[in-house]
Structures are given as C-alpha cells and as structure tokens.
Structure 1
C-alpha cells in the first residue's frame, strides 16, 4: 500500500504516460477580497426606522488574464438597501479568484471563466455580504443562490440572436 507521499509524488510527476499530461484541467487556485466598501450613512437613526428596506442588488462578472494559464475572475456585487427616510446601507464588494486552466478549448475556457468559476466563488462572496450586513448592525443579508450556468447560456443565446438580427438582410421578417 502506498503512503501519502507516494501518491503526491505520482500526481506531481513530470510526463504522464499515454499523453495524459495533455488532459484538460481547470480549478480555483486562490480567492480573496480585492475591494470592499460598507457604508452605514444614517446610523444610528436608521436602526429606528420601521419601513421594510428595498434592496437593490447589482451583479457583474469579469475576467482578466494574468498569464497563459491563470486568469483572475471577479464577482462585483453592489447592494443598496433603502427606506423611505433614506439609504440604510450600501455594500460594494469585488470578490476575486485566481483560476488555472490548461489544455481547455476556447469555448470551454470561456464557459469556465464566466459560469463555473463564479459558481465556485459565489458561496464565499455571499458569506462576506452576510457578515458585512450583520457587522453593520442589521440582519444578515443572505443572497439567494444564482444559476450561473443558466445565466451564461441565456447570455450566449442573446448574443447569438443579436448577431443574427444584425446580420439579417434588410426587409427580412
């Protein structure tokens, strides 16, 4: 029976047999808060407000290439809670992850960057938002799960429909 050291050595060996070293690989290397702002502009007065807050949630995904095999995926989450009397709190979070990809076709790499990596990062960003609202003195805001793969497919379909509409000859129905 092999001990743990042998297994790790085998996994990290150079030149896998039968061309296995060309297998597609993708994963999260690390994750971190890149930028965060929490504003509680009307405290302590806002703690006395009885109106149910209206929460506006804005979400964006970006990716930047760091080198040939590493990209930074960024989840930008903006939460603005307002009441009739004014703003209760505002949270702006830029939560990032370094993801590594090797031997992935272009379409699969794009899907990993804009669907799968955000899905992997989101639970951690969600916790940061919940902690920030709690630390600001309010009930933790627990964001609903997001179907990143579904959103990715919708976005691709919308882009394809737009391209088809722009490429259609004039006068076509």
Structure 2
C-alpha cells in the first residue's frame, strides 16, 4: 500500500442499521373507573438517552420514555418504552461523536417512540397522545454545559 494511502483521513460515515423496541410497557391501574371521569389528564413525561459501543464501528442508542397520565389523583395510564437503534459510525470522534450519539441519533429514534406510545395509548382505549417534538440538540448542549460547570467547581475546590 502506498504511504499516502495509509495516512489518508478516514471519511466520516454514518448509517442507521436497525431500529427496534428494546422494552415496552402499558398499564392502566384505574381502569375501568377512569373511563367514567371527564378526560382532562395531567401528563408527565420523563426522558433519558443512553448509548454504548457494540463493536468498533457500531453503537446502540436508546431513548427511554416514561409517561404517566393522571386524572386528579388517579393514574389513568403509564407507558414506558425503550426505543433503540444500532448505528454504524466511523471517522467521527471526540465531541462530534458525543453529539452524534447524544443528540442526532435520539432525533432519529424519537418519532418511532412517539408512534409506539400513541399506538399503545389508543389500544388502551384512551384518546391519542401525540407527544411534542423534543429538541435533543438543546438537551445535549445543556447537559454538556452542566458537566463543564461541575468540572470547574471540582477544579476550583481542589485548588483552594
């Protein structure tokens, strides 16, 4: 192999290889009583993302949602889902890889989780629940900012 080929930079590559539901759950603990009440629920959603390296160029990214709907103090339903995907990524490293795994990949997966949640809620005999889009770029930026501030606080405490 010629010397200049060995030192050629690796071109960034990104490909979605698989999308799948890793875990899914629906509960309606107050049924059938909840169907007798006027439907004005309080909706609470918890959202998390995680990623792990599967091989040299493959990463699994998981978007976890937990949604609880309450009418007054009664839980109407709870939906939990882990929507996952396997992504082939090469030539992307450091902060750019962290942003790809923490923001770009979750943006790809969220519509699938959103559809699965709506389908489960409908199958539970509740009105459609179309979750609002999530800005994973802003969430990622905020998480990085918090991490940097925490590191500065630890560094500041160590120097005093």
TM value normalised by structure 1: 0.83
Please name the residue that 2:120 is paired with: 132
Q: 1:107 to 1:50 in 2, by over 3 A?
A: same
Please name the residue that 2:135 is paired with: 147
Structure 2: runs of 5 or more not aligned: none
Q: Please say if 1:66 is aligned against 2:45.
A: no
User: What displacement does 1:86 show?
Assistant: 1.2
CA RMSD of aligned residues (A): 2.0
User: What displacement does 1:152 show?
Assistant: 0.7
For residues 113-157 of structure 1, the C-alpha deviation after alignment (integer angstroms, 9 at most, x for no partner) is: 110000011111111111111111111111111111111111111
**Secondary structure of 2:134 counterpart:** coil
The answer to whether the 8 A contact 1:70-1:101 is kept is yes
Q: Please say if 1:76 is aligned against 2:28.
A: no
Select 2:148's aligned residue among 143, 147, 160: 160
Select 2:44's aligned residue among 56, 78, 81: 56
Counting only pairs closer than 5 Å after superposition, residues 1-173 of structure 1 correspond to structure 2 as 22-50=10-38, 52-169=40-157
**Secondary structure of 2:130 counterpart:** coil
User: What displacement does 1:26 show?
Assistant: 1.5
User: What displacement does 1:22 show?
Assistant: 2.0
Please name the residue that 1:6 is paired with: none
TM value normalised by structure 2: 0.89
**Secondary structure of 2:126 counterpart:** coil
Q: 1:126 to 1:164 in 2, by over 3 A?
A: same
Structure 1: runs of 5 or more not aligned: 1-17
For residues 16-42 of structure 1, the C-alpha deviation after alignment (integer angstroms, 9 at most, x for no partner) is: xx7888201113211011110101122
User: What displacement does 1:109 show?
Assistant: 1.2
User: What displacement does 1:57 show?
Assistant: 0.4
